[in-house]
Amino acid sequence: MITVAALCLYAGKGATQSTTVTNPVLAGFYPDPSVVKVGSDYYLINSTFAYFPGIPVFHSNDLKNWKQVGNVINRPSQMNFMGHRMTRGLFAPAIEHHNGIYYVTCTLIDRGGNFVVTAKDPAGPWSDPVWLPEVRGIDPSLYFDAGKAYVVYNSDAPDNKPLYPGHRTLRMYAFDYVNLKVTGEEKILVNGGVDISKKPVWIEGPHFIKRNGWYYLYAAEGGTSVNHSEVVLRSRSMEGPFIPYEGNPILTQRHLPADRKHPITSAGHAQFVEGPDGNTYVIFLAVRPYAGDFYNTGRETFLAPVSWKNDWPVVDLRGEEIAYYYTANYKEVPQEGARPQSGNFEYEIRFDKELDPSMLFLRTCDSSRFSLDKARGLTLKLSPETCMGTGHPTFIGKRQQHLYCQAETELSFATTADHEKAGLIIFQDEKHFYYICQSADQGKPVIQLFKSNPEAERMELLTQALLAPGVKPVRLRIQASGDYYDFYYTSKPDRWSLLQGNLDATFLSTRVAGGFIGCVFGLYATASEKNTTSQASFKYLRYRGDDPMYKK
């Protein structure tokens, strides 16, 4: 049973239509959301770090039903992330629209810095990046006002002399949106955060909104973990001075009991948007741990209503806790052909035409390594690279979107070489994964289960089982149950054998692995640093989510 009460929002009396929204609206590893409204259309983007393609673009007409229509970084010629660890790469993009042009700003951490890309259609194609070397920091966001544009971002402490760890500033340049470059001088808008005497940390993810003659500058504070929050300041001028709201933070869950049922934590990194009913809503990130601060689904995208109090925006949760459901007074608009993204759902991807835009590669895409066919499905060429390095192994994945779920595939693969492996991986990063695969042991076919070794660039065999000679295909399944995973295989329909169960899921949690990403189920084939001409075919990827908070 869900313990959090449903939220009811009413734009006016006499309403005849309503929409029930389920949180998160994008389940799984969809962090750092940014949203823009253009007419009756909404477009939302997220961080992808070192996964490729980068920065998914979702479309909606009701803030509930989202369909991925493309990716901002979808050509290796635009950008690749070779040599980056998975939790580096692209940080915190932001999307804006002006005079028929869409703009995305983002940070390529460790290399290149901040950039802007443009498109006439948010589904793409997007331009090659234009770099902004003067913008030194992270989380750049554009704001258009009265024919002018500005870029606001997180940066260093004044004079690069922090008063305490996590001391940052919010800064701004005027921006030439035609020639895509900053102009004028940099201005510091906020030093430290809401109250520098309290040593606030990591003021970041800034955005502007204007209402009733006020410029509101709002941003995340407290870091992106359990102390995450959203704060707001305002001024009559874009350049300040900015006065903080006395009731800050306007969104956080850090003050709530840790032992509450089905908690939602770490809320922040928000952006306001006008809903179809004319009311204000907020898109933000938060997480759903299965215990303590342990979660494998990454930071997800949530939505909540906003109330205006004395000309201040306050996230109106109608209680202390972020709700899993609320009802809004406007018409639901389904997205034709969209894959489900919220609540409990299931799907099956058949690899007979083109890859689903949500499928992920590690760091770049080499189209010569895979092919799609109605009869065979997805055929992968084994490559020497492994997922333990920072190169481009043969890996195509899909996000884990539930705490309780299972992923399954049908594999056709034959080898007598023990270094050749193909199968299904649950992958957090280069040092944290489990891998169930078909391989060989002394020339005999086997199903093996490996666990990565965080201290070395190798993986350790946990167990294996012999297959009958000539058996093909085999099915592989990984089942997540909160804090543990089970691994199954079969060569006969519906007669699954448990290879090994109760493997520690916290090993794949963001808290243990560190960084900012979530787990991905991957179809992965490797020759373990040797050359080969072998191939493996995957008929489908089947997924089913079964989280308890959605069971009534």
**pLDDT tens-place string over residues 255-284:** 999 899 999 999 999 999 999 999 999 999
Here the tokens at position 266 are 């770490």
Q: What percent of the chain has pLDDT over 70?
A: 97
Q: Which pLDDT score is estimated for 17?
A: 87
Q: Provide the β-strand partners of residue 479.
A: 406, 486
Q: Which pLDDT score is estimated for 4?
A: 32
Please say if the pLDDT value at position 252 is more than 90.
Answer: yes
Report d(CA 194, CA 197) in Å as an integer. 9
Does the annotation mark 204 as catalytic? yes
Read off the pLDDT of each residue in 353-372 and give the average, rounded to a whole number: 96
Q: Provide the β-strand partners of residue 373.
A: 377
Cβ pair 272, 314 in contact under 8 A: no
- DSSP secondary structure of 187-237: EEEEESSS-GGG-----EEEEEEEETTEEEEEEEES-SSTT-EEEEEEESS
Residue 219: closest CA among 275, 319, 141: 141
pLDDT grade for 405, boundaries at 50, 70 and 90: very high
- Higher pLDDT: 3 or 536? It is 536
Alpha helix positions (H), 225-377: none
E-strand spans in 229-264? 229-235, 243-244, 251-252
Query: Quick one: DSSP state of residue 320?
Result: S
- DSSP secondary structure of 426-492: EEEETTEEEEEEEEEETTEEEEEEEEEETTTTEEEEEEEEE--TT---EEEEEEEESSEEEEEEESS
β-pairing, 7-8 with 325-328? parallel
Please say if the pLDDT value at position 471 is more than 90.
Answer: no
- The pairs formed by 330-334 with CB atoms below 8 angstroms and a separation of 24 or more are 330/11, 330/17, 330/18, 330/19, 330/62, 330/275, 330/276, 330/277, 331/17, 331/19, 331/62, 331/276, 332/17, 332/19, 332/62, 332/64, 332/65, 333/60, 333/61, 333/62, 333/65, 334/65
Q: Which pLDDT score is estimated for 14?
A: 40
**What values do phi and psi take at 11, rounded to 5?**
-75, -20
List, for residues 217-251, the tens digit of each pLDDT value: 999 999 999 999 999 999 999 999 999 999 999 99
Cβ pair 272, 37 in contact under 8 A: no
Report CA 315 to chain centroid distance, whole Å.
Answer: 22
The three-class DSSP label of residue 425 is strand
Here the tokens at position 43 are 């477009």
Q: For the chain, give the longest Cα–Cα distance.
A: 76
H helix count then E strand count, the chain: 1, 40
Counted residue by residue, the chain has a size of: 552
Does the annotation mark 441 as catalytic? no
Q: Sort residue 337 into left (φ over 0), alpha (ψ -120 to 50) or beta.
A: left
Report d(CA 43, CA 60) in Å as an integer. 7
3-state secondary structure 491-515: CCCCCCEEEEEEEECHHHCHHHHCC
Report d(CA 513, CA 507) in Å as an integer. 7
- Which residues, at least 6 apart from 317, have a Cβ–Cβ distance to it below 8 Å? 7, 304, 323
- Catalytically annotated residue among 204, 221, 420, 430: 204
Q: Which pLDDT score is estimated for 15?
A: 40
Q: What percent of the chain has pLDDT over 90?
A: 93
The three-class DSSP label of residue 186 is strand
Here the tokens at position 209 are 């909104």
Report CA 549 to chain centroid distance, whole Å.
Answer: 21
**Mean pLDDT taken over the chain:** 95
Report d(CA 29, CA 403) in Å as an integer. 12
Total-model pTM: 0.95
- DSSP secondary structure of 59-110: EESSSS--EEEEEEE--TTT---TT--TTSSEEEEEEEEETTEEEEEEEETT
Strand order of the β-sheet with 325-328 is: 7-8, 325-328, 19-22
Cβ pair 365, 357 in contact under 8 A: no
Q: Which pLDDT score is estimated for 222?
A: 97
Q: Which pLDDT score is estimated for 62?
A: 97
Here the tokens at position 523 are 């179809």
Report d(CA 155, CA 473) in Å as an integer. 54
Most confident of 12-16, 119-123, 352-356: 119-123
Please say if the pLDDT value at position 212 is more than 60.
Answer: yes
- Catalytically annotated residue among 32, 316, 321, 408: 32
Q: Which pLDDT score is estimated for 124?
A: 96
- Which residues, at least 6 apart from 281, have a Cβ–Cβ distance to it below 8 Å? 63, 272, 273, 274, 275, 303, 304, 305, 306
